[in-house]
Amino acid sequence: MSAARFFVSGKVQGVWFRASTREQARTLGLRGYANNLADGRVEVLAAGDEAAIERLAQWLRQGPPNARVDSLRREPADEFEAGSGFLCG
């Protein structure tokens, strides 16, 4: 099991980014969450199989159709922060 925290910048709020991320993560069998941050970014924590996290990272670089991703930053995370399931906050 692995875990990673992502910070996504660009036009990522108000474009169904979190809900679309949840759908992608659930399809990939990942646990975690996607939250809007006060500065306009979206924070994503994903835990599970490393290959699935990598596939989610690739998806996060584009996001859903109405989004515009300017940057994606990845940091290590503790898998125990992910909880169970995948939530949107």
Set 18, 22, 31, 41: catalytic member:
18
Q: Tokens for 32?
A: 């975690």
Q: Tokens for 25?
A: 């993560």
Our answer to whether residue 26 is catalytic in this structure is: no
Three-state DSSP state, 22: helix
Radius of gyration of the chain (CA): 11
Set 5, 31, 36, 66: catalytic member:
36
Our answer to whether residue 36 is catalytic in this structure is: yes
Please identify every residue annotated as catalytic: 18, 36
